């Protein structure tokens, strides 16, 4: 007796696929003309529109680079919109400590990024880099090295605050991790 077709069992019925078909999967291509990559990043065609473009990752980044969410709003309206959207999404930021990601991949807070800028470091800097940069810069403006210099004292306080912010964030990561 001849077999009717190929089986999906491979000798073990528990390996049987969830779908019975073997047809090809439909892949949506990027909406950028001439691109053959899968278009799996939706982007709005216009503000407050449900219609979407579907770009590949490269073209989505190119599209978003020119996007200004607050275009056409004055400063007060932009601040009000930002405030209302922060209030709506507060639950997401409160739950951010449950994330899987590590430092340098977008998980640093705005305060941490400012502290890294004060120390002249990149977003993916390790805490050892932070400690080294802090020691180097603090030695230059320490009040014992430059007594009576108000600018140096202010710079030292700024460096100290930046270090404290990054140290507290590192302790939270270690405790969580």
Which pLDDT value is given to residue 134?
A: 93
Tell me, yes or no, whether 90 and 114 share the same domain.
no
* Residue 56 pLDDT exceeds 60: yes
Q: Which residues pair with residue 43 across a beta bridge?
A: 53
Q: If you average pLDDT over every residue of the chain, what do you get? A: 80
Place of tokens 């080294």: 132
121 Cβ contact partners less than 8 Å away, ≥ 6 residues apart: 129, 130, 133
Which pLDDT value is given to residue 175?
A: 76
Tell me, yes or no, whether 113 and 145 share the same domain.
yes
Tell me, yes or no, whether 77 and 53 share the same domain.
yes
Which pLDDT value is given to residue 88?
A: 74
42 Cβ contact partners less than 8 Å away, ≥ 6 residues apart: 52, 53, 54
Q: Give how many domains the chain has, as a whole number.
A: 2
Does a structural domain hold residue 16? Answer: no
Q: For residues 92 and 113, give the distance between their C-alpha atoms in angstroms, rounded to a whole number.
A: 19
Does a structural domain hold residue 167? Answer: yes
The mean pLDDT value for 23-33 works out to 83
Tell me, yes or no, whether 81 and 125 share the same domain.
no
Tell me, yes or no, whether 122 and 165 share the same domain.
yes
Tell me, yes or no, whether 108 and 160 share the same domain.
yes
Half-sphere exposure of 177 (CA within 13 A, CB side): 9
Tell me, yes or no, whether 66 and 116 share the same domain.
no
Last residue of a domain, one of 94, 124, 141: 94
Average the pLDDT over each of 20-24, 113-117, 145-149 and give the range with the smallest value. Answer: 20-24
Tell me, yes or no, whether 90 and 108 share the same domain.
no
Does a structural domain hold residue 116? Answer: yes
Tell me, yes or no, whether 123 and 85 share the same domain.
no
Which pLDDT value is given to residue 110?
A: 83
Q: For residues 122 and 39, give the distance between their C-alpha atoms in angstroms, rounded to a whole number.
A: 31
Tokens of 96: 């951010």
DSSP state of 25: P
The percentage of the chain sitting over the pLDDT mark of 90, rounded to a whole number, equals 27
* Residue 154 pLDDT exceeds 80: yes
Does a structural domain hold residue 11? Answer: no
Q: For residues 39 and 29, give the distance between their C-alpha atoms in angstroms, rounded to a whole number.
A: 5
Last residue of a domain, one of 54, 75, 94: 94
| CATH number, residue 110 | 1.10.287.110
Tell me, yes or no, whether 118 and 171 share the same domain.
yes
Look up the domain containing 170 and give its range.
103-176
The mean pLDDT value for 9-35 works out to 70
Does a structural domain hold residue 8? Answer: no
Higher pLDDT, 99 or 40: 40
pLDDT band at 161 (very low <50, low <70, confident <90, very high): very high
Name the packing angle between helices 150-176 and 127-141 (round to 10°). 160
Q: For residues 27 and 24, give the distance between their C-alpha atoms in angstroms, rounded to a whole number.
A: 9
Handedness of CA 122, 127, 131, 134 (dihedral sign): positive
Which pLDDT value is given to residue 119?
A: 93
Higher pLDDT, 6 or 32: 32
* Residue 147 pLDDT exceeds 70: yes
Tell me, yes or no, whether 110 and 87 share the same domain.
no
* Residue 135 pLDDT exceeds 90: yes
Tell me, yes or no, whether 48 and 83 share the same domain.
yes
pLDDT digits (tens, 9 = 90+) for 63-116: 888 777 777 888 898 889 888 877 776 666 666 555 544 444 567 888 888 999
């Amino acid at each position: 007796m001849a077999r009717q077709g190929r089986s999906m069992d491979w000798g073990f019925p528990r390996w049987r696929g969830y779908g019975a078909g073997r047809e090809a999967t439909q892949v949506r291509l990027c909406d950028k003309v001439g691109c053959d990559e899968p278009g799996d990043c939706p982007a709005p065609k216009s503000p407050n529109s449900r219609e979407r473009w579907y770009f590949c990752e490269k073209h989505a980044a190119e599209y978003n680079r020119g996007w200004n969410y607050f275009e056409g709003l004055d400063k007060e309206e932009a601040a009000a919109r930002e405030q209302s959207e922060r209030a709506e999404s507060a639950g997401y930021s409160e739950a951010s400590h449950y994330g899987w990601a590590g430092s340098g991949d977008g998980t640093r807070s705005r305060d941490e990024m400012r502290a890294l800028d004060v120390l002249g470091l990149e977003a993916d800097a390790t805490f050892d880099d932070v400690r080294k940069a802090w020691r180097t810069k603090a030695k230059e403006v320490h009040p014992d090295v430059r007594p009576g210099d108000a600018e140096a004292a202010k710079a030292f306080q700024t460096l100290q605050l930046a270090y404290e912010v990054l140290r507290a964030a590192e302790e939270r990561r270690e405790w969580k991790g």
